[in-house]
Amino acid sequence: MIAVSRWGEMVRIALLQGDVLAEFYLWNLTAPDGLGDLYTGRVDAVMPALAGRFVTLGSDLSGFLPDSAGGKNLFIGTYAAFRVTRSPQGDKGPRLELTTESHSDSPGLLRRGPGPLLELAARLPDEEIVLDDYALMAELRPVLEGRMKHAAQAFDAILEDEIAALADPIATLPHGARLHISPTPAATLLDVDAAAASNMPPLALNNDVIPEICRQIRLRNLSGGILIDFAGMKPAARTKLAEPLRLALKSDPLRPDFMGFSHLGLAELTRRRIRPPLHELLTP
């Protein structure tokens, strides 16, 4: 089930698999993240060292077009239609791709992207969508007619508590262990603290917490480079966690790439940067 709750101009979207919160998104109706937006843009700089071009999309917005996304044969001053393939994040502008759609004669927005709710609904066409706002249902009816159901309270108290916990940089893991989440501009470090499970065999503990670690990565939309420091195991022994980690990552729709263990024993992952991570959206 996809549960949707509206607070003013903020829409919260939860994918529930049974009673388990599997994915969570925030959709700001007045300031959407821009993924999928279509623009008329003008190429303003060619950057051979970066294998791409900088494209002006409006008076105060520019994006980066990789050569691999259609930029190779575009020159300074070229106008074309561009789609946002990665939202602006941190101090970086949007990532773009060249499209064949018609465009105007000056930089500017042509069409908004579908937003996270319609994307999720398209990816999971058999899921019922429960919303608590009639006005939003009316806006979505042309696309989601027949799939929506109104409920006075789309999120129950348990779900509200779980979503509120996503703002905390410490997540609860099985057996009383804890996961410390430390985002930086370069990478995100996940540190497993055995805490109440300190007497448990380290291999068994780390095996048991891997599914929840991967769920927290999805719920918080952590992306880019991710390093996991498992609890209480010598670096050489941590390779025994490789297969359970690969298996747990398979349920992630963004298909993270497990790259192995570093010399320090840290599990190294990369996860595609598509939308801003949840901690950026929650930071004023």
> What confidence tens digit (pLDDT) does each residue in 107-120 have?
999 999 999 999 99
**CA distances for 24 relative to 44, 215, 266, angstroms:** 37, 10, 27
d(CA 72, CA 66): 8
What tokens appear for 228 in the block?
């996991």
**CA distances for 165 relative to 89, 136, 192, 200, 278, angstroms:** 22, 26, 17, 25, 12
175 dihedral zone (left: phi>0; alpha: psi -120 to 50; beta): left
Residue with tokens 């969570």: 24
3-state secondary structure (DSSP) of residue 230: coil
pLDDT given at position 251: 92
Among candidate residues 238, 248, 226, 242, the one with its CA nearest the CA of residue 202: 238
pTM over 0.85: yes
∠ CA 90-252-89 to the nearest 5 degrees? 10
**CA distances for 4 relative to 9, 13, 27, 150, 260, angstroms:** 13, 5, 10, 10, 37
One-letter amino acid at 265 equals: G
pLDDT given at position 284: 56
Cβ atoms of residues 161 and 184 within 8 Å: no
Cβ partners under 8 Å of residue 205, min gap 6: 175, 177, 194, 197, 231, 232
Cα Rg of the chain, angstroms: 21
d(CA 281, CA 284): 8
Among candidate residues 91, 114, 96, the one with its CA nearest the CA of residue 56: 96
**Exposed, middle or buried, 105 (CB in 10 Å: 0-12/13-18/19+)?**
exposed
pLDDT given at position 89: 82
d(CA 105, CA 243): 53
What tokens appear for 211 in the block?
């599914």
Cβ atoms of residues 55 and 99 within 8 Å: no
**CA distances for 86 relative to 65, 170, 239, angstroms:** 11, 27, 33
pLDDT given at position 234: 84
pLDDT given at position 196: 87
In the predicted model, residues of the chain with pLDDT beneath 50 are: none
